[in-house]
Amino acid sequence: MRRVEDKTGRKLVLLAGAIAIVAGCFAAYMPAIQGGFVWDDDDYVTANPLLSAPDGLYRIWFSTDSPSQYFPLTYTTFRLEYQLWGLNPAGYHTVNVAIHCINALLLWLVLRRLSIPWAWFAAAVFALHPVNVESVAWITERKNALMLFFSLLSVLCWVEFVFGGKPGRKAILLYAASLLFCALALFSKATACTLPAALVLILWLKRSPVTVKRWLQIVPYIAMAIGIGLLVMWWERHHQGMGVVNLGLSSTEKTLIAGRALWFYLWKLFWPVNLAFSYPRWNIDAHSVWQYGWPVSFVIAIVCAWLLRSRIGRGPATTLLFFPAMLFPMLGFFPLYTFVYTFVADHYQYMACIGPIALVAAGGAALFGSSGKNARFVIASAAGVLLLTLGILTWRQCEAYTSRDTLWIDTLKKNPDSWLAHGELSSSLYRQGKFDEALPHLDRLLELAQYVKKIHPRAYSDAYYCKGLIFTAKNRPQDAAEQYTKSLEVDDNSALVHYLLANILVKQGKVEEATVHYRQGLKIARAKGAKNLAEDIRRQLETIEKQKADTRPETQDHRQ
């Protein structure tokens, strides 16, 4: 009887713990649920034709029509939601928060199964930590939350398969389920390719021999990870814009970026102050000796943890290996489009942060267990205050995601030299008809982003193009033409800019000069498959040719 009561009591405690995590998470993220769409959400949701097209589901999975990388499962969830609540942002935000809550609960289960002390506390910290706001409050980052959801399910099945002692058939089903969830994680976001490393580290942490048999069991995970990784690298280059970007980073510079990024992410995890949507882009100098301190010191930390593993346990070494392993695709060794404006982003460490959080929780449990009654009360109180503080910081960080404007204004408060924020805010002000407010942001962008001329000319030329649009709206055609010309001087591969400049030249009577731009624009538009723009340019050329033809006979009659 007593055993039944104890079992019932444990179930009630677990239920209370789950309710506390979910309630606290939803409370902290309430400003995000009440927010709107922000940057990139138009590509993924509001202006994504694949969500409403009759053949959209097929094209999501089996074409290159997706507006970003290959995230078919993520786009499938957006398509389903579009059928349910259209373009109501509250629905998408609520689902993001719900997935994040489930991720926290799954993390709790995984850590409990691995016998990590204070597993509930670690899950609660993960649920409430403000560094995860970018992955939850930004609808576009559904891919991040969904990827971790399936990754945790895959890990949970793997742990049961390896350590559960299940008989043959059940073990095979667990292994198959783990592989399936791994594939779904990869279809959500390709950064799940780091999952095999996590499986190996779990074996090492639990002192389970990594035999040839185990390696053969891990090979399918590795094969799937490599396959999706190669696909995404090809996609990034040919469909995401990296084909026109030349970051020009040497192997040494990439290593310096990676080393500094690792410490940056750890610092933001332990001191989550001034979290920004876009952080300053560091100046990397391979000739600067002090910059080598970042990667060298991290390697030293790993070596020390490894050498001391018999005294301090395998937890620290596992964490220091897990953290860079989960971050590896985002550290800069592979080209990322975001490196044009920043080398780091909070959402990159959504999965990686689990390691340090679990280590701190285990350390807190050890300290709690070795302390007296009064000290335990202090430690427990400090843990409660920490969770409350994290929840408040998350609430405040969510407020930045209320709208596009609030996001960019918040970014500029924390990173005044963000040319990305200046550009995006100027575009928003332009759409609102606030032309005089938009122009200073574009001027500041051009001042800050000089380096972009070399690595991504299109991004820099777009600022001149936007200024041209503003001057056109202000009925200043000469100034607009000057900006369009400057835009083409930086990057002459824009059919639209050629077209807009030609329109102004026609009105100025410079027909021959306009014809040159029309023809160049037509050539580019056809090459890029911009059918509507190509058709508009073709009509303009026909009009010019017709006007020339109509004037020729009149000239001849006059001479006669």
Of 240 and 429, which is predicted with more confidence?
Answer: 429
Q: How confident is the model at residue 345 (pLDDT cuts 50, 70, 90)?
A: very high
pLDDT at 556: 47
Range with the lowest mean pLDDT among 122-126, 158-162, 238-242? 238-242
Three-class SS state of 513: helix
Which amino acid does the sequence have at 48? N
pLDDT, mean of residues 394-415 = 94
Task: Decide if pLDDT at 558 tops 60.
Answer: no
CA pair distance 358, 319, nearest whole angstrom: 8
Mean pLDDT of the chain: 90
Q: Please give the average per-residue pLDDT across 442-457, as a whole number.
A: 83
CA distance 11 to 31: 32
Confidence band (pLDDT; 50, 70, 90) for 240?
low
The region of weakest confidence among 111-115, 236-240, 416-420, 517-521 is 236-240
pLDDT of residue 559: 41
HSE-CB for 417 with a 13 A CA cutoff: 9
Quick check: 28 and 128 in contact, CB under 8 A? yes
550: its two tokens: 């109509």
Q: Averaged over 444-467, what is the pLDDT?
A: 85
Give 348 or 39, the one with higher predicted confidence: 348
DSSP 427-478: HHHHHTT-HHHHHHHHHHHHHH-TTHHHH-HHHHHHHHHHHHHHHHHTT-HH
The least confident of 152-156, 355-359, 414-418, 536-540 is 536-540
Tell me, what's the pLDDT at 509? 85
Residue 401: pLDDT over 50:
yes
User: What is the average per-residue pLDDT within 296-311?
Assistant: 95
Q: Is the pLDDT of residue 503 over 50?
A: yes
Q: Which residue has the tokens 């990590």?
A: 116
Between 276 and 64, the higher pLDDT residue:
276
Whether 426 and 441 have beta carbons less than 8 Å apart is answered as yes
- Which pLDDT does position 232 carry in this prediction? 81
Q: If you compute the radius of gyration of the chain from its CA atoms, what whole number of angstroms results?
A: 28
CA–CA distance, 462 with 491 (Å, rounded to integer): 9
Residue owning tokens 């005089």: 436
What is the number of other CB atoms lying within 10 angstroms of the CB of residue 95?
A: 21
Instruction: Read off the amino acid at residue 410.
Output: D
Contact call for residues 336 and 240 (beta carbons, < 8 A)? no
Mean per-residue pLDDT for 98-107?
97
Crossing angle (nearest 10°) for helices 195-205 and 315-327: 180
Cα 49 from Cα 45, distance rounded (Å): 8
Residue 557 — very low, low, confident or very high, per pLDDT cuts 50/70/90? very low
For the chain, what percent of residues have pLDDT higher than 90?
A: 64
pLDDT of residue 242: 54
Look at residue 552 in the predicted model and tell me its pLDDT: 59
Residue 249: per-residue pLDDT: 86
**Cβ atoms within 10 Å, residue 233:** 17
The pLDDT value given to residue 136: 96
Give the pLDDT band (50/70/90) at residue 210. confident
pLDDT, position 388: 96
State the burial class of residue 551 (Cβ atoms within 10 Å of its Cβ: 0-12, 13-18, 19+).
Answer: exposed
List the single range of 211-215, 445-449, 454-458 with lowest mean pLDDT.
Answer: 454-458
Write out the two tokens for 259: 């080393």
Helices (H), 63-118: 72-85, 89-113
The pLDDT of residue 248: 78
pLDDT value, residue 555: 47
**What's the average model confidence in pLDDT over 249-262?**
93
Indicate the domain borders of the chain.
2-401, 405-559
pLDDT at 245: 65
Confidence of residue 230 (pLDDT cuts 50, 70, 90): confident
**b/e per residue, 146-155, with b = 16+ CB within 10 A?**
bbbbbbbbbb
pLDDT in tens, 472-494: 988 899 999 999 999 998 888 88
| Cα distance between residue 50 and residue 67, in whole Å | 9
Kindly state the average pLDDT of the residues 517-530.
87
Query: Which superfamily is assigned to 405-559 in CATH?
Result: Tetratricopeptide repeat domain (1.25.40.10)
Query: What is the average pLDDT across 203-224?
Result: 93
Return d(Cα 223, Cα 196) in angstroms, integer.
Answer: 10
Report the pLDDT value the prediction gives residue 405, as an integer from 0 to 100. Answer: 92
